[in-house]
Amino acid sequence: MITDKDKKNMQQLYKAVLALKTEDEARMFFDDVATIKEILDLSSRLEVARMLSEGAVFSEISKATGASSATISRVNKCLTYGEGGYKTVLDRLKKA
């Protein structure tokens, strides 16, 4: 269960990410706040989302990213029923 303290800490994290201005600042922040494994996992999930949004099939995604079928399924569920975060980011990355 997420407590009020957890919510406050999460809000602080989101604001911290929004305060970053360059890719180098983002790299330095994530290098400090997360392990390389956590960063690799997050970046892999984003790539899975990108590939799913472009119509790739599970076996193709697994081969390209090394992601498990469980991870691909979870990302697919988020793309379909989630808050829209992946879609927002992927749309903005396309435009950039």
Q: What is the pLDDT along the chain (96 residues), one digit of tens a residue?
A: 999 999 999 999 999 999 999 999 999 999 999 999 999 999 999 999 999 999 999 999 999 999 999 999 999 999 999 999 999 999 999 998
Same domain flag for 82 and 70: yes
Same domain flag for 57 and 22: no
Q: How many domains does the chain have?
A: 2
Same domain flag for 3 and 29: yes
Same domain flag for 13 and 46: no
Lookup result for tokens 């494994």: 37
pLDDT of residue 80: 96
Distances from the Cα of 2 to the Cα of 6, 7, 53, angstroms: 6, 7, 30
pLDDT of residue 23: 97
Same domain flag for 94 and 78: yes
Q: For residue 80, give the amino acid letter.
A: T
Instruction: Write out the residue range of the structural domain in which residue 89 sits.
Output: 35-96
pLDDT of residue 48: 98
Compute the distance between CA of residue 86 and CA of residue 78 in angstroms, rounded to an integer. 8
Same domain flag for 39 and 77: yes
Same domain flag for 42 and 18: no
For the stretch 82-91, contacts whose Cβ atoms lie closer than 8 Å and that sit 24 or more positions apart, written own/partner, are: 86/46, 86/49, 86/53, 87/53, 89/46, 90/49, 90/50, 90/53
Same domain flag for 94 and 68: yes
Same domain flag for 81 and 45: yes
pLDDT of residue 76: 98
pTM: 0.92
